[in-house]
Homo-oligomer: A and B are copies of this chain.
């Protein structure tokens, strides 16, 4: 069974020039915070660590991607947890198990996560990239659920609900005034979504039905 560190560890550490990648990512975050994303040029980032624009693009496909290196690891973690969830777990329970393990991922990097999120929240281009990462994560989760024998429709709906919940939990977890644990916030959000959907049963004096009957 893979441990968290197994999954997180980047196996292929080339011996020279150990961490151009890391240094570029750090410099990028710093500059994005100082000058803003749009007002910092890739050449600047590279120069700040003694490298060239061209080298930056050999490490990151994109000016945006430099902030999203960890999302692959995140996805691997969630998927792995979901596949190991108890066989009798329902789809939403499996997703919950997958999301719960992320608490251990963010706890140590709280301050970094806040800075990163501050930049993203100021930059539409980065928000768009974040959304595509979430979308990719949803697909990964849906796939994992299908391997648990769940049909595609249920799997993708469950996965996307998982993302909705993840985003809600993360936003509140990151908030400086938050006191609650990751797991606690997760349970609250799950419960809230369940409650919301139970609201489907409410009898209406017919407004929806009115159109349907036409």
Question: Would you call B93 and A208 a contact (CB within 8 A)?
Answer: yes
Say whether A160 faces chain B, with CB atoms less than 8 Å apart.
yes
Question: Would you call B194 and A200 a contact (CB within 8 A)?
Answer: yes
Q: How far is the CB of A209 from the nearest CB of chain B, in Å?
A: 10
Give the interface residue-count category, chain A: 35 or more
- Which residues does chain B contribute within 8 Å of A202, judged by CB atoms? 88-90, 93
Q: How far is the CB of A190 from the nearest CB of chain B, in Å?
A: 6
Instruction: Write the A198-214 contact mask toward B (1 if CB under 8 angstroms, else 0).
Output: 11101011111001100
Q: Which A residues contact B (CB, under 8 angstroms)?
A: 85-86, 88-93, 96-97, 100-101, 124, 127-129, 131-132, 135, 153-154, 156-158, 160-161, 164, 167-168, 183, 189-194, 196-200, 202, 204-208, 211-212
Besides A90-B196, A90-B200, A154-B196, 11 new A-B residue pairs in contact (Cβ under 8 A), listed by A number: A88-B202, A89-B207, A93-B199, A96-B208, A128-B132, A157-B164, A157-B196, A161-B193, A193-B197, A194-B197, A194-B200
